[in-house]
């Protein structure tokens, strides 16, 4: 077998494993929610509409495979990854509201407030956030001390120093003469917070050293910046169908794309990915090849050979 064929075979094996884990995530997400016929029916239908809509499940995959690479394969990892997806779904519901980004399409289906109504959307987002904490409290084979750490981390992630701070900053994000550093700070709150939760929670469950946690934190930081910049590029160049959501939501906002232009933005994006991969390699995970595939799939519109 040639070297290229060996690489292709290895990649296919990794992809098959990723798909297997993704299917487990889908089943876990569905099983953790009340069925849609549970009273109040409209609320539970709205929750399932938002959470179970087709998505890449990148955050729970990150949580699972980071923990897996650290030697932790307990079912609690899968559940905590699903917690990140619940919070992500809740944040998208709120982000799409008319008082926020006013987006009508999310994951190639009507946004929750369009499919139902604004009141139901707000209540379903609140219910998903509340349910996320409940899932952590009921984790099996996890000590109370670790559960408290995870609850504290999730509270910080969602709160006024995390996602909510990022959304507030995004609502007033209209200064096109702002600096790259200021935009990165916003992006760290807006997108990076849930990456931080997904990866740090895996580190907490795996009980690793402070140095390895620091490298994983650095990996999460640059991955979050790369992911948000990729999202900004998609908003600018993709159609609604290709992006699977409403586009042109960033017009008038101070994004890296707006202040640096397309060519320089792509260079910055590649640099984020290079720095993310270097930090990840220092964390000494046993499954780095899996992350090569995960990142390739997420950022496939780039020339990934340039960052390998």
Cα(47)–Cα(69) distance, integer angstroms? 32
pLDDT the model gives residue 306:
43
At residue 245, does pLDDT exceed 60? no
3-state SS class at 106: strand
* Confidence class for position 251, pLDDT limits 50, 70, 90: low
Query: Which of the four pLDDT bands, split at 50, 70 and 90, describes residue 307?
Result: very low
43-70 pLDDT, tens per residue?
Answer: 999 999 999 999 999 999 999 999 999 9
Instruction: Say what the pTM is.
Output: 0.90
**pLDDT at 254 (0 to 100):** 76
Q: Which domains does the chain have, with CATH numbers?
A: 28-307 (1.10.600.10)
Residue 247 has pLDDT above 60, yes or no: no
Please state, as a whole number, how many other Cβ atoms lie within 10 Å of the Cβ of residue 260: 16
Q: Work out the mean pLDDT of the chain and round it to a whole number.
A: 89
pLDDT computed for residue 305 by the predictor: 44
> Which of 52, 6, 110, 246 shows the shortest CA–CA distance to 238?
246
> pLDDT per residue over 158-195, tens digit each?
999 999 998 888 887 666 667 888 888 888 988 899 99
Asked if residue 12 has pLDDT above 70, the reply is yes
Does 273 have pLDDT greater than 50? yes
Give me the pLDDT at residue 3, please: 47
The pLDDT value recorded for residue 143 is 96
How much is the average pLDDT of 209-231?
95
What mean pLDDT do residues 90-102 have? 94
Tell me which residue has tokens 């995870």: 150
Q: What is the mean pLDDT of residues 216-245?
A: 79
Query: Which tens digit of pLDDT belongs to each residue from 72-91?
Result: 988 999 999 999 999 999 99
Burial of 251 (0-12, 13-18, 19+ CB in 10 A): exposed
Dihedral sign (CA 216, 221, 223, 224) = positive
pLDDT at 212 over 50: yes
pLDDT at 241: 61
**In the predicted model, is pLDDT for residue 197 greater than 50?**
yes
pLDDT band at 234 (very low <50, low <70, confident <90, very high): confident
- CA dist 208 to 205, 295, 307, Å? 8, 23, 27
Q: What is the pLDDT of residue 108?
A: 87
Please report, rounded to a whole number, the percentage of residues in the chain having pLDDT higher than 90. Answer: 69
């Amino acid at each position: 077998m040639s070297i290229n064929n060996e690489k292709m075979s290895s990649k296919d094996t990794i992809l098959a494993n990723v798909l297997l884990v993704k299917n487990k995530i889908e089943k876990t997400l569905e099983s953790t929610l009340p069925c849609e016929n549970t009273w109040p029916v409209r609320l539970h239908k709205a929750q399932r509409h938002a959470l179970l809509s087709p998505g890449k499940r990148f955050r729970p995959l990150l949580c699972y495979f980071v923990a897996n690479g650290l030697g932790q394969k307990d079912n609690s990892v899968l559940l905590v990854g699903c917690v990140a997806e619940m919070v992500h779904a809740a944040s998208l519901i709120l982000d799409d509201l008319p008082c926020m980004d006013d987006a009508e399409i999310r994951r190639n289906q009507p946004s929750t407030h369009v499919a139902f109504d604004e009141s139901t959307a707000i209540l379903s987002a609140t219910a998903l956030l509340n349910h996320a904490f409940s899932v952590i409290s009921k984790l099996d084979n996890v000590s109370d001390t670790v559960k408290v750490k995870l609850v504290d981390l999730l509270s910080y992630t969602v709160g006024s120093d995390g996602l909510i701070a990022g959304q507030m900053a995004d609502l007033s994000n209209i200064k096109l003469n702002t600096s790259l550093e200021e935009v990165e700070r916003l992006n760290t709150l807006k997108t990076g917070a849930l990456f931080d939760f997904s990866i740090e929670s895996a580190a907490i469950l795996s009980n690793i050293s402070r140095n390895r946690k620091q490298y994983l934190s650095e990996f999460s930081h640059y991955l979050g910046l790369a992911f948000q910049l990729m999202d900004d590029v998609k908003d600018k160049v993709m159609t609604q169908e290709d992006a699977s959501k409403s586009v042109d939501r960033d017009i008038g906002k101070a994004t890296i794309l707006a202040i640096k232009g397309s060519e320089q933005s792509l260079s910055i994006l590649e640099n984020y990915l290079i720095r993310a991969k270097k930090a990840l390699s220092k964390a000494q995970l046993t499954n780095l090849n899996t992350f090569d595939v995960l990142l390739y799939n997420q950022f496939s519109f780039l020339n990934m050979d340039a960052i390998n």
